[in-house]
Amino acid sequence: MVTISGRSNPAWVGLVLAQPWVMPLARLALVSAYLIGGIDKVLHFNDAISEQAHFGLHPAALWAVLAIAVEIFGSLCVIFRRFTWFGAGGLGVLTVVAMLVANDFWNHIGAARFMALNSFFEHLGLIAALVLATVLSDSQHEI
């Protein structure tokens, strides 16, 4: 068993986590939806504006530019462990806004409520993962 901070993990888990590619890949996976979303918004800017308008965010072009900047720059901060607190914080705030405007389960009924509720809490879990990435970025160990 591998023991870290009084917690025990099976030795094979420690071996997998010790591989130099695991944590960079985990950081990339964590922010992949944001990075791809930001790039897609750049490539289809008019659609990005329409998306913001659809959710009632005005001026829509300004919100689209802000979303692109946060999604791309924030993702790069997390991936490269530079200003992780800033990048993850920006992505977290963007996610809260998205949760409130796009996953407003309290305004739906039936299947639409079910889907919005699930998405709301999936996004909440993503925010928690961004918090953990920020905390771990301050650790002495490579994450």
pTM score over 0.85: yes
Encode pLDDT of 49-58 as tens digits: 999 999 999 9
Tokens of 59: 């001026």
What is the Cα–Cα distance from 7 to 81, expressed in whole angstroms?
25
Largest distance between two CA atoms of the chain: 55
Token pair 């964590």 is at which residue? 30
Cα distance between residue 6 and residue 115, in whole Å: 39
- Give me the pLDDT at residue 98, please: 93
So what's the pLDDT on residue 142? 52
Each residue's pLDDT tens digit, 71-112: 999 999 999 999 999 999 999 999 999 999 999 999 999 999
* Phi, psi (deg, nearest 5) at residue 3: -110, 125
Domain ranges of the chain: 20-137
Q: Are 63 and 48 in contact (CB under 8 A)?
A: no
CB 78 within 8 A of CB 31: yes
Least confident residue range of 28-32, 113-117, 136-140: 136-140
